[in-house]
Amino acid sequence: MPTNDLLSSPLRTSVVALWRYKGRAAAVFIVTMAAAVAALFLVPREYESEARLLVRIGRENAALDPTASTGHTIALSSTRETEINSIVEHLRSRSLLERTFVLVEPESTSAPPLEREMAFRSFQKTVHIDSPRASTVVLVQCAAATPQRAQKTLATLLDLYLDEHMRISRNLGSHAFFVKQSASLKEQLDGARQGLRDAKNKAAVASLEGGRTALESQINSVEMRLREANASLAASRARSASLHGELDDVREALLGQLVQGSPNDGLAGMRQKLFELRARQEEILSTHTDEHPRAIAIRLELEGLEKALRAAEPDRHEIMQAILARETSEQASLAAQKEQLESQLSQLNRKLLELNENERVIAGLTTEVTQLEATYLGYVEKTEEARMDEALRADRITNVSILQPASFVPKPIRPQKASVLVMACLLGIFGAFAVALMSDQYGSPHRSSENGTDAGASTGRGVSSAKPHGASPSGKNGKRGDPERHYVKV
């Protein structure tokens, strides 16, 4: 039983059928391999060029556009993954691929719209753009009929993308806009400064705080001097009133010393010399007579000095008048000083009132100038940023760098010979088995009987043929001419 099961297994049947129809199986395998080889020679070859872009942190993603920060700004969070996806979608955009298609195939512009659309869609399928996860590198691939065409197409696409990336990253007219606005603000600032200067010239101050401080200091000084003058004038008047009753009791010798307000040094010297001459006279008379020449000489000198002293000393009435006249003149001086100080104080108070009146105008102009200066400096800074953006755009400096330029690969990517041959070999083997099995299953009965007889003989088993019961050669139990049924007994 195991032997019979083994011999009647599907594997044995397949092997027997393959051996029995080995010619047909070989023909199918050879035709399949020949078709594969012919396809390798007839199918057009396809070449691929590859490039890689590196996305760095630059002005496009780390700084705001000058026109985006002229007013109140809102903090927006943008991840690197978002930026990479934006670059990939830009590279896949139809406008960019259409411009590349027109530059690579200029003859397509004269084609009908439908034909041109079909050609563009075929071209669009040859471009593959992707970015690996957790990476800042963008992979760009392009396939074409020749390696030169693939490289040229990919290089054209990258050049157009870099130009478009620089264009859309910044506003092209921002520099001209800021230059115009800066010039307008400069004119307004000059006008406001001129108005502030005129207001300060009218108020005769360099600054409000400085002018107010200087004016208050002058007012305080004048008020202090005025108080001192008033006090001195009051003291002088009181002294003059008291002198009328007190000078009568002052000795005449002291009155002469008070004329100038201090002792008279000339009269004091004459009195001292007179005292000394009298002392010498007494000394000479103590040793000599009155007729002695020395005594006569000293006596004459004494008489002349006394006469000169009497002529130099004023009388009591004149001294009193002189003292009172001096007090009167001092009072007049103090009164004049007081009047002058009061006039100065009045002028300073009027200036203070004028300064208070001009303070509102000057403060308003100062605020306007400060605001215009801040705005003008901001616009100057934005103008410089816009100028720098235009310079970077002109020199094609951006945060997207070509990490790997468009490559030139002379080896085609399709068709792949090894894969095609392996697939053809497998298909040929499968086809050979299928043809052999089908031929064995649907083959003629005589052939099947003969094959069965041959198979039995080859196995050494007894084989006999018999007719079914009720069958006759003449065909009594069946139609005449029917083929004879054979039964193989094992």
225: Cβ contacts below 8 Å, ≥ 6 apart: 337, 341
In a domain, 65, yes or no: yes
Res 204 pLDDT > 90: no
| pLDDT reading at 248 higher than 80 | no
Q: Write the CB contacts of 388 (distance below 8 Å, at least 6 apart in sequence).
A: none
Q: Is the pLDDT at 325 greater than 70, yes or no?
A: yes
Least confidently predicted of 27-36, 67-76, 202-211, 426-435: 67-76
- The overall average pLDDT reported for the chain is 77
Report pLDDT for 484: 38
Do 94 and 17 sit in the same domain of this protein?
Answer: no
**Residue 23 located in a structural domain:** yes
| pLDDT of 131 strictly over 70 | yes
Residues 336 and 366 in one domain: yes
On whether residue 203 sits in a domain, the answer given is no
Residue 37 has pLDDT above 70, yes or no: yes
**The pLDDT value given to residue 140:** 95
Q: Residue-wise over 221-233: b if at least 16 C-beta within 10 A, else e?
A: ebeebbeebbebb
Q: Do strands 127-130 and 47-55 pair parallel, antiparallel, or not at all (unpaired)?
A: unpaired
**Between residues 141 and 43, which one has the greater pLDDT?**
141
Six token digits for residue 5: 């099961």
Q: Domain for residue 147, yes or no? A: yes
Instruction: Read off the pLDDT of each residue in 262-274 and give the average, rounded to a whole number.
Output: 67
pTM confidence score: 0.51
pLDDT tens figures, 96-111? 999 999 999 988 888 8
| 147 in the same domain as 221 | no
Domain check: are 461 and 360 in the same one?
A: no
Specify whether 88 is located in the same domain as 227.
no
Report the alpha-carbon distance of residue 444 to residue 357 in Å, rounded. Answer: 130
Looking up residue 118, the CATH number of its domain turns out to be 3.30.70.1130
DSSP state of 50: E
Measured CA to CA, the distance from residue 163 to residue 55 in angstroms comes to 15
Query: Is residue 465 very low, low, confident or very high in pLDDT (cuts 50, 70, 90)?
Result: very low
Number of domains in the chain: 4
Domain that holds residue 235: 209-379
- Predicted confidence (pLDDT) at residue 259 exceeds the cutoff of 80: no
Domain-located, residue 117: yes
> pLDDT-derived band of residue 319, with 50, 70 and 90 as boundaries?
low
Shared domain check, 155 and 13: no
143, 150 Cβ separation under 8 angstroms:
yes
194 within some domain: no
Peptide bond into 415 cis (omega under 30): yes
Cα distances (angstroms) measured from residue 259 to each of 230, 234, 323: 24, 21, 5
* Higher pLDDT pick, 130 / 397: 130
Q: What is the pLDDT of residue 6?
A: 46
Question: What residues does 402 pair with on adjacent strands?
Answer: 53
Let me know if residue 438 belongs to a domain.
yes
Residues 424 and 400 in one domain: no
- Please tell me whether residues 375 and 244 are part of one structural domain: yes
User: Which residue has better confidence, 18 or 221?
Assistant: 221
How high is the pLDDT of residue 258?
52
**pLDDT score of 472 more than 50:** no
User: Higher-confidence residue: 315 or 121?
Assistant: 121
Residue 200 falls within a domain, yes or no? no
Order across the sheet with 47-55: list the strands.
Answer: 127-130, 137-144, 47-55, 400-404
Q: In this predicted structure, what is the pLDDT of residue 353?
A: 85
DSSP structural state of residue 251: -
